């Protein structure tokens, strides 16, 4: 699933296209996309895009938020969630259509925005910007880890003394927005914290290392234009290179870059976890500083 760096690269690529022409028509496939109350078909409202003019493209956590304007009307927003396998692309209207295309937004300059999602875990919604920002899922998101005020103190406060393991706490979008399994494991390696450490056993210094390492892992992902393992690419079709710079994720059985120890990999819940046994030792029954 695209995480914060990948969604940020999609945002930047969409901005470069400078879409400004008004929407002339919208096509939506008959197939359902993301499930859940926030993503019901009745809430998509994408047909209402006709006549609206696109503006800036924002990001909140793993979500794209495209602003739209119309005379004498409140600013609106198209909310896009890429799911497990989704991507957006900007192309000319006469270009060949990819399989699994579920949304086409046609503009008055003969270009269109397409949303393609083979597994259909992504979602789309169009509404007034205030309603999008004031409702789930956007209103439920935790702080942005790339914001200036993101610290260990803030992260610990968001965790609220949780007894869950730190890997799962960091994956909770209500605690911090945008982190997924790839960048959580990378951050915990940098911080020297075992992924299965109980969050309630972490001292302030450990929280600060985790916050700093999370920000660093995300920034490296952005510098390398995202992690392409299977489906990810930006709106111009470019793939990322960060998969070649990962230090633990997907590298179970390899040697640790720092100490040479063999990296452990195991299943935590329904996701893979990886750690270095020397750099991230098991801690039982004591506080982690």
**Which residues are part of the catalytic machinery?**
2-3, 62, 271
Helix 204-223 × helix 4-17 angle, to 10°: 40
Query: Any idea which residue has 């920000």 for tokens?
Result: 215
Nearest of 7, 10, 79 to residue 44 by alpha carbon: 79
CA torsion angle 131 137 139 142 (round to 10): -160
CA torsion angle 250 255 260 265 (round to 10): 50
CA distance 60 to 58: 7
CA distance 218 to 150: 13
């Amino acid at each position: 699933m695209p995480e914060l760096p990948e969604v940020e690269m999609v945002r930047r690529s969409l901005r470069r296209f400078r879409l400004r022409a008004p929407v002339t028509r919208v096509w939506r496939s008959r197939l359902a996309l993301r499930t859940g109350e926030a993503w019901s078909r009745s809430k998509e409202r994408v047909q209402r895009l006709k006549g609206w003019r696109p503006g800036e493209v924002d990001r909140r956590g793993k979500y794209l938020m495209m602003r739209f304007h119309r005379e004498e009307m409140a600013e609106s927003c198209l909310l896009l969630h890429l799911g497990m396998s989704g991507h957006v692309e900007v192309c000319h209207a006469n270009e060949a259509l990819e399989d699994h295309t579920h949304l086409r937004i046609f503009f008055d300059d003969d270009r269109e925005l397409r949303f393609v999602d083979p597994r259909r875990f992504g979602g789309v919604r169009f509404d007034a910007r205030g309603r999008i920002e004031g409702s789930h899922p956007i209103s439920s998101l935790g702080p942005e880890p790339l914001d200036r005020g993101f610290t260990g103190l803030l992260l610990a406060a968001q965790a609220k003394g949780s007894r869950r393991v730190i890997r799962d706490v960091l994956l909770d979008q209500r605690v911090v927005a945008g982190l997924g399994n790839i960048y959580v494991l990378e951050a915990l390696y940098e911080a020297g914290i075992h992924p299965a450490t109980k969050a309630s056993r972490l001292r302030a210094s450990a929280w600060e290392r985790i916050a700093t390492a999370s920000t660093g892992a995300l920034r490296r992902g952005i510098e390398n234009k995202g992690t392409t393992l299977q489906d990810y690419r930006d709106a111009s079709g470019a793939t990322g290179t960060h998969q070649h710079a990962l230090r633990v994720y997907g590298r179970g059985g390899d040697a640790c870059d720092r100490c040479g120890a063999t990296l452990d990999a195991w299943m935590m819940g329904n996701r893979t976890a990886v750690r270095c046994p020397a750099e991230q030792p098991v801690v039982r029954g004591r506080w982690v500083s």
